[in-house]
Amino acid sequence: EPCQEESINIFFLDGPDGGTAKALIHRGDFFASQCFVANRHKSSCESLRQSGGGLLPDENVVHASASEALTMAKTMIKPLSGLDEEKFGRIAQDENAMNSGDKNGAFADIDFAAYYFDGCGGFVPQIIDMLSAALVQKQQQNVDNVNNSNNGSNIPCIPSTQPIVIGYSLLGGNKDVVGKELAISQALATMARQRNMRMIHVLDEPTRYGISSHIQKVGGSGGGGTFTTWLLLQPNE
């Protein structure tokens, strides 16, 4: 839904044409200052910035991967408890998603109400890495700050008070897309538990969240190019 409360920030991946930024600002009524983008191509970053003719403030566009932009300093991701590591792989094993240096990612200290990860080519570990950088590392840092006090639970739990929207696209529309979505959803459900949250599939009840019931889950050329999933992490009462 349209949102003009500037305290709400959103992180997403976008290309040089700024298509996602345009949709959020022109149709979603978000302010440009609420939109934050990471892109691994310097030329794309220049096109997205206002100084290069784009829509976004220069400081809101960073030349980095999503994992790099969101990673907390000195935070090493551990395997998520309850997740089948052999099936899904070690979370955030990519060196870009495991920052052991002294410097936070450009957006690591920003609280985001929504994330959208696009252009992933259907590669499940890459999407899970990005989700982990966005959701697990900050939570793990909070756990460290309270001396890993987890009330005897196997999964450290730092309560979250605000809902978080998660969207991602699997490109290609191949026959394995359902299994890939399941793998990502299972990993995300584990991350949600760490934050004392539950995961909701938004398109199960689209009108409840202000979305048209006619929205298509599969889009793109010929209706089979992009498979998009929207999830809501809701704090447990």
- pLDDT tens for each residue of 174-206: 668 888 889 999 999 999 998 899 999 999 999
Q: Are 117 and 73 in contact (CB under 8 A)?
A: no
Task: Give the CA count within 13 Å in the CB-facing half-sphere of 204.
Answer: 6
Phi, psi of 100 (to 5 degrees): -105, 15
Rounded Cα–Cα distance for residues 186 and 91 (Å):
12
Rounded Cα–Cα distance for residues 77 and 92 (Å):
6
The predicted model scores a pTM of: 0.79
Residue (of 234, 107, 222, 104) closest to 164 by Cα position: 234
Rounded Cα–Cα distance for residues 228 and 220 (Å):
10
What pLDDT is recorded for position 87?
Answer: 47
- pLDDT tens for each residue of 87-112: 444 444 443 434 445 578 999 989 99
- pLDDT tens for each residue of 116-162: 997 566 788 889 999 999 998 765 555 554 444 445 444 444 456 78
- pLDDT tens for each residue of 16-50: 999 999 999 999 999 999 999 999 999 999 999 99
Identify the residue with better confidence: 230 or 227.
230
What pLDDT is recorded for position 73?
Answer: 66
Q: CB 31: neighbour CB atoms within 10 A? A: 14
Percent of the chain with pLDDT over 90: 49
What pLDDT is recorded for position 219?
Answer: 73
Residue 64 pLDDT grade (very low, low, confident, very high; cuts 50, 70, 90): very high
What residues pair up with 198 in beta bridges, in sequence order?
A: 234
The answer on pLDDT for 80 being more than 90 is no
Residue (of 165, 170, 162, 171) closest to 210 by Cα position: 165
Q: Are 169 and 117 in contact (CB under 8 A)?
A: yes
Q: Are 108 and 71 in contact (CB under 8 A)?
A: yes
Describe the chain by its helix, strand, coil percentages, rounded to 5: 35, 20, 45
